[in-house]
Chains A and B, each alone.
Chain A
Amino acid sequence: MPYPESLVAPMRAEMVQMGAAELRTVAEVDAVLGGASGTTLVFVNSVCGCAAGNARPALQMALRHAVLPDRTVTVFAGQDLEASARARSYFGEYQPSSPSVALIRDGEVVHFVHRHQIEGRSPQALAADLVKAFDQHCGVAR
């Protein structure tokens, strides 16, 4: 059951402020992920303070890197149920977890960060891993 919108609004805003486009409907998800070329980072947001509380600032740090995905989007697990399920349908064999991060290149997941890889780790450590993935999969610095 979704949390009250007033509770999650700051978590949505945190994502938008760092430059992620929020996808709240199936149509919005398909418009971005359906047949997209290039690189897309999908952040699966969560209310969980244990993990998402570190994952959001980690992504914010990583997005200051010179090499970035072509686009960064977010869906909110447990809140925007249909949009989240649709986004996960693009993740192939990777199982649902939240928070999580999928880096997709030309329609294929090339890097995935599960919740279990976020738990107990600092934003700095998580950001370093994301930056490494950006360097590996997202091409030249801009």
Chain B
Amino acid sequence: MSGHVFHPGHHDLHGITVVLETANALWVGRFDSVTPKGVLLHDAGCFEEGVTPGTREEYLQKTLKFGVRATEKNKLIAESEVRGIRQLTAIGG
């Protein structure tokens, strides 16, 4: 079963833990797909400006070390709100 993928034909980021940036928040979660309603993430956690303690960088560094503190099993973010998506590990750590 090694290397077997159950879900071929998906988006390149499917199954990858990503950082999705909006104007006021960072979402970190497992990318699923882009749907008509927006980008779908699974097991997503959020840094929200003015709400979450610390900085975006501190949140990301903690997430890199300890993993995603998920608050949403399935999170849809409208494409119009998305400023960028990158793989979590691409930010280093």
What is A's interface to B at a CB cutoff of 8 Å? Answer: 10-11, 14, 47-51, 53-54, 56-57, 93-97, 100, 112, 114-117, 119-120, 123
Contact-residue bracket for chain B: 20 to 34
A42 to B70, CA, bound (A): 21
A51 to B87, CA, bound (A): 14
Nearest A residue to B2 via CB reads A57
Residues of B within 8 A of A97 (CB): 43, 67-68
The winner among A49, A50, A116 for most chain B CB atoms within 10 A is A116
A10 CB to nearest B CB, Å: 5
Residues of A within 8 A of B43 (CB): 97
Task: Say whether B14 contacts A114, CB under 8 Å.
Answer: no
Nearest B residue to A100 via CB reads B67
What is B's interface to A at a CB cutoff of 8 Å? Answer: 1-7, 14-17, 30, 43, 64, 66-70, 87-89
A123 to B5, CA, bound (A): 15
A58 to B93, CA, bound (A): 22
Task: Say whether B15 contacts A119, CB under 8 Å.
Answer: yes
Residues of B within 8 A of A94 (CB): 66-67
Mind listing 5 A-B residue pairs with CB under 8 Å?
Answer: A50-B5, A50-B14, A93-B66, A97-B68, A116-B68
B1 CB to nearest A CB, Å: 5
Residues of B within 8 A of A11 (CB): 1
A119 to B17, CA, bound (A): 8
Nearest B residue to A114 via CB reads B67
A56 CB to nearest B CB, Å: 6
Task: Say whether A50 contacts B88, CB under 8 Å.
Answer: no
Task: Say whether B15 contacts A14, CB under 8 Å.
Answer: no
